[in-house]
Amino acid sequence: MNRLYHLKETLLKNLTNNTGYPGLEVLLLDYNSGDDMEQWVKNNLSDHIERGALVYYKTFDPLEFNHSHAKNMAFKLASGNIVCNINADNFTGNRFVYYIDEVFRTNKKVFMRPLGLHPGVAGVVCVNKADFLHVGGFDERMSVYGWEDVDFRNRLRLAGVEEWKIREKFYLDAIGHEEKYDRQKLLSRIKAAYVSEVNPVNAVTTKVLILFEDYRFKYGTVINNKRKGGQFEYLFDLEEICWTEGYWQKEGGDLKLLDEARDVVYDATIFDGRNIRLPDNNAGSVLLYRVTDEYVLNMISYFEMDYRNRTIMINNMERKAVAVNNGMFGQGRVFKNFNYEMKIDME
């Protein structure tokens, strides 16, 4: 979705680098892209479609990109026994499909993924389609960027599928770019954010209150493990088990934070037109400063997104969950190769 600028650099090269392999299907899923992807494919790739080297599917349903659902839909549409995800910004390298074939011919119960040292290619994963279906695909609760690939790999291991690490650098190339997720989309969800520290970047802990545009809120204590020191797995953590969540409403100079039953959890006071004083069981009250620094706001929005997916992943690990999505994943309506009179319903 909206990655035509990457496809223009990668797709034709990937098609060329893997020609000649019998039975290869290169499947492009246009996830309701709004950047003329369809017209570009018609103008530049019709000959590849006509000779069967490329299959183009389009869905008009999604309004926003859902990483897990998009991968599930593409994998389920694929006709091959082995499926491999290649993100729009990835180069496969020369004869990558022959390498995949060799690995799976000699190792029946494996999945392939890059060695962790190569940036930009974490989304590459090759797996038997039967194993993909067995674990219920990618967890569609992880709709935003981050951890869906790690969770998928964890559950494959639990299912007894062994990991094969791709170490060859010529198969692991990607277009370098900073924007791995839609920053503006994340920020647009936030009405305002508040922190308890004047300089939260250098603080070991800071209380964070996020008010979302849909009148939901999240409140918790964020830990900067780098500032804390010692060994750590994640750069940022939440001190509490989970966020305090609910609804917010503004009444004059007061801000009320409500639980799911719409009962008041915190009765806060707004002063100076921007800052908040929030009741606190330990300190009596805590002063929260409205975040105006774009860098800090980006950090908060990214952590909220990242922690959401990370928590799902950790819960799946703790439950030793193999299958997710309750058997319902990759669903929707698609159309194949510009034939919009023939709707395909994905069950």
What is the per-residue pLDDT across 107-142, written as a single tens digit (0 to 9) for each? 989 999 999 767 789 899 999 999 999 999 999 999
The residue ranges of DSSP E strands in the chain, in sequence order, are: 26-31, 54-59, 82-85, 90-91, 110-114, 125-128, 162-166, 173-174, 190-195, 205-212, 216-224, 236-238, 244-251, 254-258, 264-271, 275-280, 284-290, 332-336, 343-346
Q: How many other C-beta atoms can be found within 10 angstroms of the C-beta atom of residue 146?
A: 20
User: Which residue shows structure tokens 């990370």?
Assistant: 310
| CB-CB contact of 334 with 59 (8 Å) | yes
Q: What is the pLDDT of residue 186?
A: 73
pLDDT of residue 81: 95
The whole-number pLDDT of residue 271 equals 80
Strand pairing category for 173-174 and 205-212: unpaired
Three-state DSSP class for residue 282: coil
pTM, full prediction: 0.89
**Cβ distance 234 to 225 under 8 Å?**
yes
Residue 129 structure tokens: 């389609």
Give the per-residue pLDDT at 319: 96
Cβ atoms 208, 302 nearer than 8 A: no
Residue 88 neighbours by CB distance under 10 Å: 21
Give the pLDDT score at 214. 95
Average pLDDT along the chain: 93
Structure tokens at 281: 């069981």
The residue type of 275 is N
How long a stretch of residues is the chain? 347
Residues of the chain with pLDDT under 50: none
Query: Residues 288, 290, 295, CA angle at the centre, nearest 5°?
Result: 120
Closest by CA position to 142, among listed 315, 345, 318:
315
pLDDT for residue 181: 55
Report pLDDT for 231: 87
Comparing CA positions, the residue from 288, 306, 246 lying closest to residue 67 is: 306
pLDDT at residue 228, rounded to an integer: 92
Q: Of 56, 51, 24, which Cα lies nearest the Cα of 41?
A: 56
